[in-house]
C-alpha cells in the first residue's frame, strides 16, 4: 500500500478540514493510506504525524480550522531543516506529499521540489484569493460572507447614529475581500491596494455626501490599501504595528483607524472604525467553499496517485485542472479591474 502525506501550512482558512477529508477518502482509489503531518512543515522536520482514517475524518467537513494544526514554519529557517525533512520523507516511506497552503507554502513546496526533489503536490488555500493560476481559493467565499454580514450589521448602527463607519478587512496586497464584500454590502466607498487613494479625495467625498444630505455611510478598506497622504507624496501602507512577520513582511492593519480619525477630524462627521481581523478566517466554511475544498482535495489525491510532482490543483472555467507550482507562485493574482469597476458605480 502507498502512503500519501498531507500538511496544512501558512495562515488557516475555512475549508482545510474539507481538503483533509477529501484526500483521506480519495486516497483509497489509489490504494493509498494517508499520514497527516501536524503543525505544517514543522511536523515533517521534527516528526509529528497521525494516521488519517475514514472514521477520523468523519464529520470534519463543516469544521473551521484544521485538525492537523498549522504553522508558518519553514525548514529553511532552522539548522539542518531540509536534510531532516528529506530523511523523514524516506523514513515515513511517503509516496508523495500534499501541501495545502498559500503563496508562501506553495513557493516553499516548489523550492523543495526543485532543490531536493521533494515529491510534492500543492493545494492553494487563502481567504485573500490571491494565488495565481487558480480562479478562486477556498476560504475566500467564507471570508466575504462573514465580512458582508458584518457590513450589514454595521449599516444599521451607522444609520441609527448618523455616522460614517470604516470597516477594515483582510486580504494582504490584494483587494478581493474588500471589493467583493463592499459590493455585496453596498459600501459607499471601497479602498483597495490596487487603486492607491489620495486622502484629500476621500475627505472630499465625505463632505460631498454631507452636502447631499446623506446621514450615514460605510467605507470598506483593505488592510493593504495604499494611501497618499499628500498630493506630492507617494502612496503608502498605513501600519499601526511596525514589526514584520516571519517572512519579513509588514504586519498589516491600522489603515481603518487612520482613516476614521482623519475623517472625523477634518470633516466633523462622527466616525467609527471596525476591524474584522481574524473573524474572517474562523468558523464553518460556506457551502461553496466546502465544495471547492473537497474538489481540490480529491483532485490533489489523484495528482499524487498519478505521481504528478511539482503540480497544483486549480480551478479554471469551473473545472479542476492541473497547473505547475511554477505557474502559481512568484506573482500574485490581484483584484480584477471589472469587479472594482462595477463596485465603484455606487461610490456616489
Ligand atoms: O493571508 C491570510 C491573512 O489572513 C491575511 O489576510 C492577513 O494579513 C494575515 O493572514 C494575518 O496573518 P496572522 O494570522 O499571522 O496574523
Instruction: Please provide the DSSP assignment of 107-156 as one string.
Output: HHHHHHHHHH---EEEEEB-TT--BTTSS--BTHHHHHHHHHHHHHHHHH
- Is residue 137 pLDDT above 90, yes or no? yes
| Residue 249 resides in a domain | yes
| Residue 304 resides in a domain | yes
pTM listed for this prediction: 0.97
Task: Say if residue 153 is in the same domain as residue 41.
Answer: no
Burial environment of residue 47 by CB neighbours within 10 A (0 to 12, 13 to 18, 19 or more):
middle
Task: Say if residue 77 is in the same domain as residue 128.
Answer: yes
Residue 13 CA, ligand 1 centroid: distance in Å: 10
Q: Are 40 and 10 in contact (CB under 8 A)?
A: yes
- Is residue 135 pLDDT above 90, yes or no? yes
Cα angle 148, 315, 251 (rounded to 5 degrees) comes to 50
Nearest to 100 by CA among 328, 296, 310: 296
Task: Say if residue 119 is in the same domain as residue 184.
Answer: no
Task: Say if residue 131 is in the same domain as residue 221.
Answer: no
Average pLDDT over residues 26-43: 98
| Residue 339 resides in a domain | no
User: Alpha carbon 260 to chain centroid distance?
Assistant: 25
Task: Say if residue 73 is in the same domain as residue 47.
Answer: yes
Residue 215 has a pLDDT of 94
Residue 11 CA, ligand 1 centroid: distance in Å: 6
Say which CATH number the domain at 179 has. 3.40.50.460
C-alpha pair distances (Å), 146 with each of 174, 185, 217, 302, 317: 18, 11, 19, 32, 25
pLDDT tens digits, 249-285: 999 999 999 999 999 999 999 999 999 999 999 999 9
- Is residue 326 pLDDT above 90, yes or no? yes
| Residue 216 resides in a domain | yes
CB atoms within 10 A of CB 64: 17
Instruction: Among 128, 174, 248, 278, say which to mutate for ligand 1: greatest number of ligand atoms within 8 Å of CB.
Output: 128
Ligand 1 contacts (CB < 6 A) are 11, 102, 126-128, 170-172, 223, 245, 252, 281
Task: Say if residue 21 is in the same domain as residue 11.
Answer: yes
User: Residues of the chain with pLDDT > 70: what percent?
Assistant: 100
Report the run of H or E that residue 70 belongs to, with start and end. Answer: none
Residue 3 has a pLDDT of 98
- For residue 188, what pLDDT band results from cuts at 50, 70 and 90? very high
- Is residue 53 pLDDT above 90, yes or no? yes
Q: From CA 190, how far away is CA 68, in angstroms rounded? A: 36
Task: Say if residue 278 is in the same domain as residue 155.
Answer: yes
Least confident stretch, 176-180, 241-245, 321-325 = 241-245
Task: Say if residue 276 is in the same domain as residue 316.
Answer: no
Task: Say if residue 278 is in the same domain as residue 304.
Answer: no
| Residue 338 resides in a domain | no
Residue 245 has a pLDDT of 86
Residue 227 CA, ligand 1 centroid: distance in Å: 20
- Is residue 10 pLDDT above 90, yes or no? yes
Task: Say if residue 148 is in the same domain as residue 132.
Answer: no
| Residue 262 resides in a domain | yes
Catalytic residues: 128
Task: Say if residue 117 is in the same domain as residue 135.
Answer: yes
- Specify the residue with its C-alpha closest to ligand 1, atom 14: 11
What sign has the CA pseudo-torsion 86, 90, 91, 95?
positive
Say which CATH number the domain at 25 has. 3.40.50.450
Mean pLDDT, the chain, integer: 97
Q: How many CA atoms lie within 13 A of 39 on its CB side?
A: 11
Of 282, 311, 339, the one marking the end of a domain is 282
Average pLDDT over residues 214-231: 97
- Is residue 229 pLDDT above 90, yes or no? yes
Average pLDDT over residues 276-303: 98
Task: Say if residue 161 is in the same domain as residue 263.
Answer: yes
Average pLDDT over residues 318-338: 97
Of 282, 313, 339, the one marking the end of a domain is 282
Instruction: Among 105, 126, 169, 170, say which to mutate for ligand 1: greatest number of ligand atoms within 8 Å of CB.
Output: 170
Of 264, 282, 300, the one marking the end of a domain is 282
Query: Per the structure block, which three cell numbers stand in for 46?
Result: 521534527
Residue 264 CA, ligand 1 centroid: distance in Å: 28
- Specify the residue with its C-alpha closest to ligand 1, atom 10: 11
Tally of domains within the chain: 2
Residue 265 has a pLDDT of 98
Q: Which domain holds residue 317?
A: 2-139+285-328
Instruction: Among 11, 144, 276, say which to mutate for ligand 1: greatest number of ligand atoms within 8 Å of CB.
Output: 11
Amino acid at each position: 500500500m502507498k502512503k500519501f502525506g498531507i500538511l496544512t501550512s501558512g495562515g488557516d482558512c475555512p475549508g482545510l478540514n474539507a481538503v483533509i477529508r477529501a484526500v483521506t477518502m480519495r486516497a483509497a482509489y489509489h490504494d493509498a493510506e494517508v499520514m497527516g503531518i501536524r503543525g505544517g512543515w514543522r511536523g515533517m522536520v521534527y516528526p509529528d504525524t497521525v494516521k488519517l482514517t475514514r472514521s477520523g475524518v468523519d464529520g470534519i467537513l463543516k469544521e473551521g480550522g484544521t485538525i492537523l494544526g498549522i504553522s508558518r514554519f519553514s525548514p529553511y529557517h532552522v539548522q539542518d531543516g531540509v536534510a531532516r525533512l528529506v530523511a523523514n520523507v524516506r523514513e515515513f516511506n511517503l509516496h508523495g506529499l500534499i501541501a495545502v497552503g498559500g503563496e508562501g507554502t506553495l513557493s516553499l513546496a516548489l523550492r523543495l521540489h526543485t532543490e531536493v526533489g521533494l515529491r510534492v503536490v500543492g493545494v492553494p488555500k487563502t481567504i485573500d484569493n490571491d494565488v495565481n493560476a487558480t480562479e478562486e481559493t477556498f476560504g475566500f467565499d467564507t471570508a466575504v460572507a462573514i465580512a458582508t454580514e458584518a457590513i450589514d450589521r454595521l449599516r444599521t448602527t451607522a444609520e441609527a447614529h448618523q455616522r460614517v463607519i470604516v470597516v477594515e478587512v483582510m486580504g494582504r496586497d490584494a483587494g478581493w475581500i474588500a471589493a467583493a464584500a463592499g459590493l455585496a454590502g453596498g459600501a459607499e466607498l471601497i479602498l483597495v491596494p490596487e487603486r492607491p487613494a489620495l486622502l484629500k479625495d476621500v475627505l472630499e467625498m465625505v463632505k460631498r455626501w454631507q452636502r447631499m444630505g446623506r446621514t450615514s455611510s460605510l467605507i470598506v478598506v483593505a488592510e493593504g490599501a495604499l494611501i497618499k497622504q499628500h498630493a506630492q507624496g507617494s502612496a503608502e501602507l498605513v501600519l499601526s504595528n511596525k514589526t514584520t512577520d516571519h517572512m519579513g513582511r509588514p504586519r498589516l492593519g491600522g489603515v481603518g483607524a487612520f482613516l476614521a480619525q482623519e475623517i472625523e477630524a477634518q470633516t466633523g462627521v462622527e466616525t467609527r472604525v471596525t476591524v474584522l481581523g481574524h473573524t474572517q478566517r474562523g468558523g464553518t466554511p460556506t457551502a461553496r467553499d466546502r465544495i471547492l475544498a473537497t474538489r481540490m482535495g480529491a483532485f490533489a489525491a489523484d495528482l499524487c496517485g498519478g505521481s504528478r510532482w511539482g503540480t497544483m490543483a486549480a480551478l479554471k472555467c469551473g473545472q479542476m485542472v492541473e497547473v505547475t507550482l511554477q505557474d502559481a507562485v512568484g506573482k500574485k493574482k490581484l483584484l480584477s479591474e471589472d469587479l472594482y469597476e462595477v463596485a465603484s458605480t455606487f461610490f456616489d
